[in-house]
């Protein structure tokens, strides 16, 4: 069975600073996908960034980047130049290629302080 663990229930960061959210996972698959989703107070799930496990290069989307350590099964999200609009619940998710399911972590609530 797949598992996703986010060990930080809450994090805070000062506006314009950098913050890193942690995620570890476990899977028996050799090929899979990893995602970070953002859920603001509206509760709409928004995709932030994705990483294919077969790619060694870490994904980057503007101020968001990941540190993907496949051997360690670690997938952290770095947010640079944090903005007030980044405040949200962030979920790490693992998708298997042999099936069609996404497994989510419990989330990290990010607060951005002005």
Partner 1 sequence: SQTIHQWPATLVQPVGSPLSLECTVEGTSNPNLYWYRQAAGRGLQLLFYSVGIGQISSEVPQNLSASRPQDRQFILSSKKLLLSDSGFYLCAWSRGNTNTEAFFGQGTRLTVV
In the bound complex, what is the minimum distance in angstroms from residue 14's beta carbon to partner 1?
Answer: 24
Contact call for residues 39 and 91 (beta carbons, < 8 A): yes
Residues 6+ apart with CB under 8 A from 99: none
Backbone angles phi, psi at 74, to 5 degrees: -125, 145
Q: Which is nearer to partner 1, 15 or 31 (CB)?
A: 31
Task: Find the shortest distance in angstroms from Cβ 113 to partner 1.
Answer: 20
Query: Smaller CB distance to partner 1: residue 68 or 91?
Result: 91
Distances 95 to 6, 23, 27, 86 between C-alpha atoms, Å? 16, 14, 10, 24
Question: How far apart (Å, rounded) are the C-alpha atoms in residues 104 and 95?
Answer: 9
> Applying CB under 8 A, which residues contact partner 1?
32-33, 35, 42-45, 47, 50, 89, 91, 93, 95-97, 99-107, 109
CB of 86 to partner 1, least distance (A): 18
Shortest Å, Cβ 90 to partner 1: 11
Nearer to partner 1, 12 or 18 (CB): 12
Other beta carbons within 10 angstroms of residue 73's beta carbon come to 18
Closer CB to partner 1, residue 48 or residue 112? 48
């Amino acid at each position: 069975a797949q598992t996703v663990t986010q060990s930080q229930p809450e994090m805070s960061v000062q506006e314009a600073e950098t913050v890193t959210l942690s995620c570890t996972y476990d899977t028996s698959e050799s090929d899979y996908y990893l995602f970070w989703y953002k859920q603001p107070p509206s509760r709409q799930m928004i995709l932030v960034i994705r990483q294919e496990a077969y790619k060694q290069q870490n994904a980057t989307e503007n101020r968001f980047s990941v540190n993907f350590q496949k051997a360690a099964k670690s997938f952290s999200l770095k947010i640079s130049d944090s903005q007030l609009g980044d405040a949200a619940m962030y979920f790490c998710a693992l998708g298997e290629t042999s099936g069609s399911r996404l497994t989510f972590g419990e989330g990290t609530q990010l607060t951005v302080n002005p």
